[in-house]
Structure 1
Amino acid sequence: MSTPATQPQKVVLVHGYMDDGEIWANVRAGLEERSIASLALSLAGMGDRTDDAGPYTLDRWADDLESQLKGVEGPVILVGHSMGSQIAELAAARLGDRVRALVLINPIPLAGTQLPAEQIAPFQQPDLSLEGQKGFRRSLSTTFPDAELDRLSAVALNVAPTTIAATATAWNDGHPDGRGPSGYRGPVTILRGANDPFVTTEIVSSYVAPRFEHATEASIPDAGHWPHVENPAAVAAKIADTVTTESANERPAQAWQSAFEQKSEEGFAAALALDVRLEASALAKPVQGKDKIKAVMAAVSGVYESLEFVHQVQDGERTYLEWRAAAFGGFAMKGITILKRDEAGLIAEIAIHHRPLGAVMQIASKVGPTLAGVLTPDYFTYTEGK
């Protein structure tokens, strides 16, 4: 049984205005050193995709990103820089629980910067000489490496002037979804180059961070608008921290699903805290303690003829797993399991909800008797008013 929750996470990197996927090379090297898989994409109209036809809009790029991610197995952590943050957020809102976390680097607000005509004009019609492009990047950076400055400036010169104008208009005008709370509900890490004169701390604190339910902020030292180029080691470390945190959050789900594959007391015991507590719609009262619960779950898992975990949502220490199964000669049932982990990553609380009512009744009547000696009959006997 292979589900998104049991596959390793992949980091997907989205570049910004007039850049390309290769800009992430040093960050990817830092991730590879930590055995973290990554994928860097070039946006239509830029990098090695300058021949891709328009329109060049946030929606088009988000559609493109969503389409490409369909070919990536398992969960992803989306990382976007500047305009790429707008695109990553839009795609994440559409992909739901496939995106375990967002990392936004010097993010332009999804609602856009809304610069007036005279201020956006230099971005729509920039100086397209090599020195002009170098000067543009130097003006917004702290320690841009010379070799990458030369390379990116040359990359920008291959972008059609009409594409550049449309791209600047896209991030400046923003997207209607940016006018309210974000459609993405998962954890968000916002990284900002400490010396960025463009995406300021005020922009982040006023127009970016408040739109997310779970957002943390961090500063990247010795960096301006391109911290992934200016200080790639620090950026790679922050992304790796996010991967590690989300992997820790997912550990209970992985252990739980592995236990169902094994259908054994030993499998469940490995996932459970010593004082774990179980509540279930098929039980009249909670079960407390690892020894009892491992026996209960081994017995219950043994009756499933098929079981598939179809969705997963992470909310801090809680994991929500939606599943569907067949048991008792093909009887179809569905349900939701809620797992709460402790500080060690073990499952401390379990709540299992079955539907339809027939599933509850069959588990109580057919599995209950097999647990004699583990649970007393009152665990399966409902008293009116209690």
Structure 2
Amino acid sequence: MALGWIASARGISFAINNRLFRRINNASPGRFDMASSSSSSSSVAQSGNNPLQCESDDGRRWWPCAGVAALNSKGEILIGERIGKPGSWQAPQGGIDGSESVFDAAIREMYEEVGLEHGRHVLLETTTTAVVKCKYETEGTRGWLEDEGYAGQELNWVVFRCTSSDLEMDPSLVCTLSGLNGERPEFSAVRWEGLDRVVDDVWEKKALPYRALRDYCVRLATRWEERCAELDLGGRWSRDNGRNVGVEEALVARGLSPDDASRLASEPYLQSWRRHSEARPSEWIVTTYRDDGWIEIRRELHYPIGEFEERYEGTSTIFGGGADDGGGGVARRRCFYLADADANGGVAHVAVSTMPDAAGQGGVVAIRQEQRARSQAHFLRPHVERAGHIHRSVRQMLICYRTHHSRLSPS
């Protein structure tokens, strides 16, 4: 996502600790209330001409940093365990270089410290363009900040939303912790954690900005739930085969010939969606049909938020089952909402299914299926359109995994 709308930093340049920073003259000083020098203060700054202040009114100097608040579908934040400090967990953060905006610095630090890319793994939170700013003191720690004459740091939080199902389910399989762009590694492990737990466990002096972030994210959580509930997936859907990723390859890995895999991957896959209830507007009842006549029902499933299992009977092209093994099986499923740049409203419903033992592969290959439903019209048949039914696109992805590895990896 281009950040062309972010105003570039302009002002008076000066050097601090061999790194160049800019002290910016705010073109619109009334647009936000700058956090005071007190360690108990915090504020929310709007994007645009974000002043990066290195000195407060009382003359104390503060090191300006960008903090990465990457949130998953549950509102949990991505944190890492610091190398050499077992049990010390925090979110990615780092100093703001030169004329970088807060947003650019957060995107860079996120990539360097945990290997996540904006636009691929996460997206900027679109509900607000605010930056949560909070100063915290580090005096008495005998660290380099104190040696350089700083009272502490000014942490500028930038909020991101997870857009990758792999990251949502297990960040340890997605994040790169070796240090990128020539930077040293910062973390030995990563995980999702609730902000309440993070505030309780983080270093005492750094708890203040995490409390400010938590308080701010309470409002974001409410709006996120509203956005998910507002997503209209009701009506008739068809898988958009042009959006398929790895489907033919997965079917070949299941033992199908390339011709059969190509044919099956291009067949119609028709569904109708309806909300579960007014009390649970983010959950869906999904009916799948056997052909494009919309008459014979293959199955009907309730898609709750979270994890559940589906037991199926007979054979399945994707999940296997046949005469040799008696047919049937259990699919592990998980439903959640993710940020999605291609979806109307910026939110997509994601259902991920896994079969641990694909038929005919001796328990070696597992297939993971991802279905991402976006509220985006995709008309297939004129007579259906005239009848008032809207076909919408469903993105489908199949990936084969080797189950005997300690970590799942593509086959």
User: TM (normalized to structure 2)?
Assistant: 0.29
User: TM (normalized to structure 1)?
Assistant: 0.30
Higher relative contact order (CA 8 A, sep 6+): 1
Structure having the higher helix fraction is 1
